[in-house]
Amino acid sequence: MEVIKRTLVENDYVTLTFVLVLGVVWFAKQMYYHRFLEFLQLPFSNKYFSAALREKNLENPFTLIMLVVQIISFGVFVWYMITTHHIKIFNAIKIEYWMALVGVFVFVLTKLVVQILVSAILNINRITYQYIYRKISYLNFSSFVLLIGMAFAFYNKNLSSIFLILSVFVFLLLNFIGILDMLKNYQKLILNYFLYIILYLCAFEIAPLLILGAYITIY
């Protein structure tokens, strides 16, 4: 009985989260309408990254608002995978919903802050700043798409696996498009700083995922 009650409470929290995210996205659309329209065209157009909008984009309120959506989306995804696919993180038998959200928040923000600090210390902002911004933008977009798929999976148990696989596939596809876009727009810069970029990616993209993966088990 206690387990059922706790599950219902967590389901209510998830529903509240979906409503909250829709509210945040609606707010972003109302406050930054043109920016929002350009954001929706992200996989198909470079308008969002136009020269007039580049300066201080990482600290732009719209980017930060959508970063909140990204963190919440990943939090819901992590919690859903843990509860439905028998996954343990750090040997914890039960991960509460709020723990998943806080964990993703700490991981994403810590990684971002360290990247920015190291870039400033090593004076490689020119190489990394636009990379971080573009990566965050594509993750913001793809994580929102992922959350929509998660909503369908959450409320339609019969087709949950299909929605989950489809949403993850679209998420990966969108980020692959983002990688191709960065390679296309920064070919010369990548070639000039190839070794630095490889070291940067290994340290800040691959290593954190490998470390996190070492603490994930399926039971």
pLDDT digits (tens, 9 = 90+) for 120-142: 777 777 777 788 888 899 999 99
Q: How confident is the model at residue 150 (pLDDT cuts 50, 70, 90)?
A: confident
Which of residues 58 and 98 earns the better pLDDT score?
98
- pLDDT of amino acid 156: 80
Is residue 130 within 8 Å of 54, Cβ to Cβ? yes
Residue 104 CA to residue 102 CA, distance in Å, equals: 6
pLDDT at 216 over 80: no
Residue 12 CA to residue 213 CA, distance in Å, equals: 29
Element (DSSP H or E) covering residue 104? helix 97-121
Rounded mean pLDDT, 6-24? 76
Which of residues 82 and 66 earns the better pLDDT score?
66
Which of residues 197 and 91 earns the better pLDDT score?
197
Looking at the structure of the chain, the number of domains it has is 1
Q: How confident is the model at residue 93 (pLDDT cuts 50, 70, 90)?
A: low
Residue 103 CA to residue 100 CA, distance in Å, equals: 5
pLDDT at 211 over 90: no
User: Phi and psi at residue 216, in whole multiples of 5°?
Assistant: -105, 130
Report the predicted TM-score, pTM, of the whole model to 2 decimal places: 0.84
Residue 185 CA to residue 54 CA, distance in Å, equals: 14
- pLDDT of amino acid 4: 44
Domain that holds residue 38: 2-218
Q: What are the CB-based long-range contacts (under 8 Å, 24+) for 177-185? A: 177/43, 177/138, 178/43, 178/134, 178/135, 178/137, 178/138, 178/142, 181/46, 181/134, 181/138, 182/131, 182/134, 182/135, 185/46, 185/49
